[in-house]
Chains A and B, each alone.
Chain A
Amino acid sequence: MVNHYYFTERDVYRLEKQAIQIREDIISMIYKAKAGHPGGSLSAVEMVTALYFHVLNIDPCHPDWADRDRFVLSKGHACPVMYAALARRGYFKPTYLDTLREYHSILQGHPDMNKTPGVDMSTGSLGNGLSVGVGMAMSGKLHKQDYMTYVLLGDGETQEGLVWEAAMAAAHHNLKNLVAIVDCNGVQINGWTNDVMTVEPLADKWRAFGWRVIEINGHDMKEILTALHTAKTMCHPTVILMRTVKGKGISFMEDDSKWHGAAPNDDEMIKSICEIKKGGVV
C-alpha cells in the first residue's frame, strides 16, 4: 500500500529519528518552563515531524515567503511540538527552546505569529484554527497560488461549534487546498473525550460535511506520509483522522489526562528522556 514514489525507506528512518529529537525537545522545554502541555504535544510528534521535515514547502530563511505552505496549530497548547520542529528546521536557534513561557520570550505559552518566526497564525483559543485555514485556502485560490494549508486540531477541540462552521464553509467553497488533521488521542483535560463529550463518529461527521476522510495510525510514519500525499491530490477538502496516544513515548504519561498540562519533576524528566532515547516511538 505504500507508494515509494514520494517517500523512501530512508526518509521514514530519517523522520523517525527526527521525531525522537522532537520528543526530547518537548520534554526538556516543558521541564525547564515548569509548565506546558506535554500530552497533546507528544501525540502529534510524528505528524508534525512529517510535515516540517518532509511535506511542507517552506523556507526557514524566508518565513514570510508568500507561496509557502501554511500550517495552523489550532490546538495551540501543543506548541512545544511546533516550536521544537521550527527550531530543528532552522527557523531559530534550538537554545531558544529553553525560554518557553518566559517573559519577553519569542516562545509564548500559545503561538504568536508576530513573535515566533515560522508561525503562520497566532492560536491558543480552541476551535478557531480551521476557520483561519479556510481564509488562507481562499486566499490561495484567489491569487492562484498552489500552496497547501494544513490545520492540526485536537479531537476534543471538535466539540467547539466553530469547527463545523469552518468545515461547512470549506466544502461549500471546495477548498481542495485545505487539509484538516485531527489528533484523535481520545483524552482531554478532564478525562476521556468520550466521557466529557462524545465526538464520535468523527469520520461520519466530516463526511456529512462534504469532506474526504482518511483514517490512519498517527504514530506510523509511513501511514502519515501516505495520507498527506493522498490528501494533497484530492479534489475536495480532506481530513486526516489520526488515531494517537496522548503522551506517546513516555510510559507514565500515556493515556493519562493528568499530563494534558503538567510539567515533569526531576525524576520524571530523567525517566522521560531515558525512555525517549531508547527510541520508544512507533
Chain B
Amino acid sequence: MGKVLATRMAFGQELMKIAKTNENFVVCSADTKTCGIEKFGQVFPGREFSFGIAEQNLVAGAAGLASCGNKVFLATFAVFASMRACEQVRTFICYPKLNVTVIGTHAGLQVGGDGATHAAIEDVAIMRSFPNMTVVQPADAISSKALAHAAVEFTGPLYIRLHRNPVADFYNPETYVFEWGKANTVVDYGTDMTFIVSGILLKKAVDAANILREQGIYVRVIDMSTIKPLDENAILKAAKETGAIMTIEDHTIYGGLGSAVSEVVVQKCLVPMEIVGIQDRFGESGDTELIYKDHNMDVDSIVFKAKNLFQRKRSVTLSPHELRNDTV
C-alpha cells in the first residue's frame, strides 16, 4: 500500500508531473491552498497567474486566457468556484464553450473543522445545471491521478470535484483506467440492488456491500465518477437487472448524483430508489466521520437503508398475497 493521499493532492501532484513534459496548459490561482498547484509558478515560471482573493476575476480571467487558445486549469475551493464565481463559470466558460477546467476542492462535508461556510454541499447541483459542462469526481488518489491525465487532454468546460482529506486507495494503479462518461462496476455480488456511488464514499459503499453480503443481500456497486454526462446505459442496466438503486454521494440530496440518477430512472425505467447524501442542512465544524454519521452517510446507515430499500423492492415485486406470507 502506498501513502494515503487526498484526491485533491493526488490530482495536483500529478498535474505538476504532467506539466514537466506538457507545456500546453496554464494554471490560475486565487490565494488558496487547494491541490498543491500553488507552487506551479515557482516550478514553471510564467505559467501560473495569481488573481488574489478574487474568484470572479479568477474565472473570467481564465476565460480570457482560454479564448486565446490556452488550456487553463483554475483551482479554488468548490464552494467559491460554484457560488462566488457561479455566473462567471456559467456565462464566460460554459456559454462560450471555453477550454477551462475548474478544480473545486474541499467538496462536501469533509472540510471538517472549517464548517458550513467552506463546505460545498451544492456544487454538483449547480455545475451540472449548466449546458456544455462536464462534471466529474474521483473516488480515490489512484483515480484522481488518472483523471489528471484525462483532464489535460480534455477540451471544453470541465468541473472536477475533489476532497480535502486523505482517503484509502481503492483502485489498483496497474489496472485502473479512467473513461469519460463511463460507470465502473467495482463490486458485483448479485442482483438484489445496485449502489451507484460518486466520489470518496465509494469505499464506504463497498464496505456496506460486504456486510450486506454476509446478511444475504447481494449488491452491485458502480462508481459513477462522471456525473455529467451521465452513463444512462449503466443506470438502465442496474434498474433492469437489480430492480432497486441506492445512490451515495457527499453532496446534498437535492440536485446531485441522486437527482441525476432519479431523472433517468423516473423517465425510463422506474424502480425503487434511495438517495444517501447530505440532508437539507448546512455542514458544521467537527469530526468528519461524526458528521457523516449524523447525515446517515456512514457504513451502518448505508446498510440499514439498503435493507429498507430491499424490503421496498420486494413489496413492489411481490403480490399482496405473497407479501402477507413474506418472512424477510
Q: Are the chains A and B members of one assembly?
A: yes
Task: List A residues at the B interface (Cβ < 8 Å).
Answer: 66, 70, 72, 112-114, 120-122, 124-125, 128, 131-140, 142-143, 162, 165-166, 168-169, 172-173
The answer to whether A162 touches B56 (Cβ under 8 A) is: yes
The number of residues on chain B lying at the interface, defined by a beta carbon within 8 Å of a beta carbon of chain A, is 29
Closest to B63 in A: A132
Q: How far is the CB of B68 from chain A (nearest CB, A)?
A: 4
Q: Residue A166 contacts which of B57, B68, B92 (CB distance < 8 angstroms)?
A: B57
User: Would you call B54 an interface residue if the criterion is a C-beta within 8 Å of the partner chain's C-beta atoms?
Assistant: yes
The answer to whether A113 touches B96 (Cβ under 8 A) is: yes
Q: What 0/1 pattern do residues 42 to 81 of B give for CB contact below 8 A with A?
A: 0000110111101011011111111111100000000000
* Docked complex Cα distance between A143 and B71 (Å): 13
* Docked complex Cα distance between A70 and B65 (Å): 12
User: Would you call B228 an interface residue if the criterion is a C-beta within 8 Å of the partner chain's C-beta atoms?
Assistant: no
The 9 closest A-B pairs by CB, nearest first: A135-B64, A131-B60, A139-B68, A165-B57, A132-B64, A135-B65, A135-B61, A165-B54, A136-B64
A135 contacts which chain B residues (CB < 8 A)?
49, 60-68
* Docked complex Cα distance between A134 and B52 (Å): 13
* Docked complex Cα distance between A121 and B96 (Å): 8
Q: How far is the CB of A171 from chain B (nearest CB, A)?
A: 12
* Docked complex Cα distance between A81 and B170 (Å): 57
List the count of A-B residue pairs having beta carbons below 8 Å apart.
98
Q: How far is the CB of B87 from chain A (nearest CB, A)?
A: 6
Q: Residue A132 contacts which of B46, B47, B92, B95 (CB distance < 8 angstroms)?
A: B92
A134 touching B91 in the complex, CB below 8 Å, given contacts A66-B69, A139-B70: no
The answer to whether A138 touches B56 (Cβ under 8 A) is: no
User: Would you call B183 an interface residue if the criterion is a C-beta within 8 Å of the partner chain's C-beta atoms?
Assistant: no
* Docked complex Cα distance between A131 and B62 (Å): 9
Closest to A121 in B: B67
User: Would you call B260 an interface residue if the criterion is a C-beta within 8 Å of the partner chain's C-beta atoms?
Assistant: no
A169 touching B57 in the complex, CB below 8 Å, given contacts A122-B91, A122-B92: yes
User: Would you call B276 an interface residue if the criterion is a C-beta within 8 Å of the partner chain's C-beta atoms?
Assistant: no
Taking A128-B88, A137-B64, A138-B49 as given, write out 16 further A-B residue pairs in contact, using a Cβ cutoff of 8 Å, ordered by the A residue number: A112-B96, A113-B67, A121-B63, A121-B67, A124-B91, A125-B91, A131-B88, A135-B60, A136-B65, A139-B68, A142-B70, A143-B68, A165-B51, A165-B56, A169-B52, A172-B52
Closest to A162 in B: B56
A122 touching B56 in the complex, CB below 8 Å, given contacts A135-B66, A136-B65: no
A172 contacts which chain B residues (CB < 8 A)?
50, 52
The answer to whether A169 touches B61 (Cβ under 8 A) is: yes
Q: How far is the CB of B268 from chain A (nearest CB, A)?
A: 30
The answer to whether B70 touches A132 (Cβ under 8 A) is: no
The answer to whether A128 touches B46 (Cβ under 8 A) is: no
The answer to whether A128 touches B92 (Cβ under 8 A) is: yes
Q: How far is the CB of A127 from chain B (nearest CB, A)?
A: 8
Closest to A134 in B: B61
User: Would you call B313 an interface residue if the criterion is a C-beta within 8 Å of the partner chain's C-beta atoms?
Assistant: no
* Docked complex Cα distance between A142 and B52 (Å): 19
B57 contacts which chain A residues (CB < 8 A)?
131, 134, 162, 165-166, 169
* Docked complex Cα distance between A167 and B24 (Å): 27
A162 contacts which chain B residues (CB < 8 A)?
56-57, 60
B88 contacts which chain A residues (CB < 8 A)?
128, 131
B156-209 with Cβ < 8 A to chain A: none
B54 contacts which chain A residues (CB < 8 A)?
165, 168-169
Closest to A143 in B: B68
The answer to whether A120 touches B61 (Cβ under 8 A) is: no
The answer to whether B64 touches A138 (Cβ under 8 A) is: yes
* Docked complex Cα distance between A136 and B69 (Å): 10
Q: How far is the CB of A58 from chain B (nearest CB, A)?
A: 14
Q: Residue A120 contacts which of B47, B67, B92, B95 (CB distance < 8 angstroms)?
A: B67
* Docked complex Cα distance between A142 and B54 (Å): 21
The answer to whether A133 touches B64 (Cβ under 8 A) is: yes
B59 contacts which chain A residues (CB < 8 A)?
131
Closest to B46 in A: A142
Q: How far is the CB of B76 from chain A (nearest CB, A)?
A: 14
A114 contacts which chain B residues (CB < 8 A)?
96-97
A139 contacts which chain B residues (CB < 8 A)?
64-65, 68-70
Q: How far is the CB of A213 from chain B (nearest CB, A)?
A: 21
Closest to A160 in B: B56
User: Would you call B6 an interface residue if the criterion is a C-beta within 8 Å of the partner chain's C-beta atoms?
Assistant: no
User: Would you call B26 an interface residue if the criterion is a C-beta within 8 Å of the partner chain's C-beta atoms?
Assistant: yes
* Docked complex Cα distance between A122 and B132 (Å): 15
* Docked complex Cα distance between A181 and B5 (Å): 48
Q: How far is the CB of A172 from chain B (nearest CB, A)?
A: 7
B68 contacts which chain A residues (CB < 8 A)?
66, 70, 135-136, 139-140, 143
Q: How far is the CB of B29 from chain A (nearest CB, A)?
A: 12
A128 touching B91 in the complex, CB below 8 Å, given contacts A120-B67, A166-B57, A173-B49: yes
* Docked complex Cα distance between A159 and B87 (Å): 17
Residue of A70, A112, A131, A133 contacting most chain B CB atoms (<10 Å): A131
B70 contacts which chain A residues (CB < 8 A)?
139, 142
B91 contacts which chain A residues (CB < 8 A)?
122, 124-125, 128
* Docked complex Cα distance between A66 and B68 (Å): 7
B21-55 with Cβ < 8 A to chain A: 26, 46-47, 49-52, 54
